[in-house]
């Protein structure tokens, strides 16, 4: 990628992960936990959300090494699960709010791209990158590897059967980043991630897109 493309990519990525995190905070607040609002995180202002490593260094590193998967992260919105009205159900809803928001953003951008033939080449490229990044972020975060949202979804589901299992899954978060890197460079992450991403691209855009992965 040229420098301008990298800047555009980081801009789209940054606001995609911000929407993701704000969605978590809004859902948590609706279910009884105002922690994110008190922390000043229910805002689209990027400054409170930027994480030097996850928002900037990690995606740039992945670009430089020609990683087949590009992603990043904002600072996680704080959630105090003790404030939730129904721990197992509400943790599930809070966890799903972020990935679903990314998938909805991808759908909206895809429909604008699909049904606006007068768009400039730059406009088409921006929308396509918005679709791809948000689908990757949405599906990636649903993978049940701690600390991704999918692990909290899995923990919530197991929590309905045995709360001890729920806490066991959540306790693995301290090893999460190592697991993600291992999955990425082993190729297993692409194997899990790409089929649903390609399926959603075809569903939203009505055509196969060459992603260059």
Phi, psi of 114 (to 5 degrees): -75, -35
Closest CA to 42 of 28, 20, 22: 22
Give the chain's largest Cα–Cα span: 56
Q: Count Cβ neighbours within 10 Å for each residue of 97-121 and write b for 16 or more, e otherwise.
A: bbbbbbbebbbebbeebeeeeeeee
Sign, CA dihedral 143-10-209-212, equals negative
DSSP string across 34-51: -HHHHTT-SS--STTT--
Closest CA to 28 of 128, 99, 105, 95: 95
21 is catalytic: yes
Phi, psi of 120 (to 5 degrees): -70, 165
The catalytic position among 18, 20, 21, 130 is 21
Catalytic positions, written as ranges: 21
């Amino acid at each position: 990628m040229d420098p301008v493309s990298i800047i555009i990519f980081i801009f789209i990525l940054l606001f995609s992960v911000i929407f993701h995190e704000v969605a978590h905070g809004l859902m948590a607040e609706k279910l009884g936990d105002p922690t994110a609002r008190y922390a000043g995180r229910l805002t689209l202002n990027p400054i409170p959300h930027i994480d030097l490593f996850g928002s900037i260094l990690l995606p740039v590193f992945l670009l430089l090494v020609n990683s087949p998967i590009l992603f990043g992260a904002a600072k996680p919105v704080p959630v105090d699960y003790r404030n939730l009205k129904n721990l197992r159900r509400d943790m599930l809803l809070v966890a799903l709010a972020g990935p679903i928001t990314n998938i909805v953003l991808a759908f909206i951008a895809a429909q604008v791209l699909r049904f606006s033939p007068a768009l400039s080449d730059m406009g088409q490229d921006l929308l396509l990158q918005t679709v791809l990044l948000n689908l990757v972020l949405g599906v990636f975060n649903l993978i049940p590897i701690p600390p991704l949202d999918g692990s909290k979804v899995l923990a919530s589901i197991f929590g309905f059967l045995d709360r001890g299992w729920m806490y066991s899954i959540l306790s693995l978060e301290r090893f999460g980043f190592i697991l993600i890197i291992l999955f990425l460079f082993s190729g297993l992450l692409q194997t899990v991630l790409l089929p649903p991403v390609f399926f959603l691209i075809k569903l939203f855009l009505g055509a196969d897109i060459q992603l260059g992965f």
